[in-house]
Amino acid sequence: MSNNPNTSERIGFIGVGLMGHGIAKNILEAGYPLTVLANRNRVPVEDLLARGAAEASSAKALAQAVDIVFLCVTGSPQVVSIINGENGLAAAGKKLLIVDCSTSDPSVTTALAGELAGREITLIDAPLSRTPKDAWAGTLDVMIGGADDVVARVRPIIESFSQRMVHTGPTGTGHTMKLLNNFISLGYGALYSEALMLGAKAGLRADIFDQVIRGGRMDCPFYQTFFKYVIERDRDAHKFTLNNALKDLTYLSAFAINAGAANPVSAAVRNSYALAIGAGRGDDYVPMLSDIVAALNGIQPEPG
């Protein structure tokens, strides 16, 4: 176990899915006592138990056993349910720090943080960027919103699973920045998909498109994982579902509406993903949007 005195903090983790499993593994390997919540998918839970984690039967029981709880779930409805639901974290009736690593609605985050403050529960946001492979390797990027002293408290824990952490400001700003980050990345996905379709209409193969873009100014890590699917047909190259993409873009749309801002580009990007989900493809991953846009325009994807 680490000699770092901060490992005396008892950590709880809820949401050991694609991203959460790797994060929880790295927290354990850093020497922190870890308790996880029972999950329908037992595989990651059993792996973490074999590595030394404990398991709680409810969010309330988990809260009673720990000092800090990390959440890595789908979005705001799940976060609110885990905290305020029957046998939720708040039902433990104790002082607690909750770190929401989910991609949540900033307006819900700030309202919930204000409500919980009166119950001696501190909520901060620490959404993630990069992939499940980075979560496992401990090389995630983290955007964290919260008071300086609280951020300082959790920094050593977050450093166990990240390569970069940016303090964005008060609670809620992390989730706002995450929505902007995802707008840019998912916007790339929509652009790539439409560009590939238009290229195919002109007889340009995907591998020719890739030879022009790869290594140039328009190349980036997101491009590379997207095109690992396009070129190599690797379904697991970027494991982020179209359903989650639409959820994040819908949060951004609500943010723009509340801000009274015109957002024609993000609205168009959102509609690209909404069309894919309307076609029944919500459980597919983001790079597969390229196949959907192609099919909607009468083009069959190239075989791998």
Q: Which residues contact 117 (CB under 8 A, 6 or more apart)?
A: none
Which of 257, 286, 291 is closest to 273 using CA atoms? 286
Q: Which two tokens stand for residue 293?
A: 């846009």
Rounded Cα distance between 103 and 244, Å, is 9
Give strand ranges (E) for the chain.
11-14, 34-37, 54-56, 68-71, 96-100, 121-125, 128-129, 140-145, 162-169
Q: Are 101 and 126 in contact (CB under 8 A)?
A: yes
Confidence of residue 8 (pLDDT cuts 50, 70, 90): confident
Q: Which two tokens stand for residue 217?
A: 């100014």
The pLDDT score that the predictor gives to residue 1 is 33
Q: Which two tokens stand for residue 202?
A: 């002109």
pTM, 2 dp = 0.90
The pLDDT score that the predictor gives to residue 69 is 98
pLDDT at 129 over 80: yes
Confidence of residue 5 (pLDDT cuts 50, 70, 90): very low
Please state the rounded mean pLDDT for residues 277-288. Answer: 97
pLDDT > 70 fraction of the chain, expressed in percent and rounded = 96
Q: At what angle do helices 264-278 and 242-259 cross, to 10 degrees?
A: 150
Among left, alpha and beta (phi > 0; psi -120 to 50; other), residue 15 is: left
Please state the rounded mean pLDDT for residues 75-96. Answer: 96
The pLDDT score that the predictor gives to residue 3 is 41
**104 φ, ψ to 5°?**
-115, 170
Q: Give per-residue pLDDT as tens, 234-251.
A: 999 999 999 999 999 999
How far is C-alpha 207 from the geometric centre of its chain's CA atoms? 30
Rounded Cα distance between 33 and 9, Å, is 7
Rounded Cα distance between 167 and 161, Å, is 16
Single-letter residue type at 23: I
Please state the rounded mean pLDDT for residues 168-187. Answer: 97
Domains of the chain in start order, with CATH, are 5-171 (3.40.50.720), 177-296 (1.10.1040.10)
Q: 224-232 contacts: CB < 8 A, separation 24 or more?
A: 225/131, 225/287, 226/188, 226/189, 226/192, 226/286, 226/287, 226/290, 227/192, 227/287, 228/287, 229/285, 229/287, 229/288, 229/290, 230/192, 230/196, 230/206, 230/287, 230/290, 231/206, 231/207, 231/304, 232/304
Q: Which residues contact 77 (CB under 8 A, 6 or more apart)?
A: none
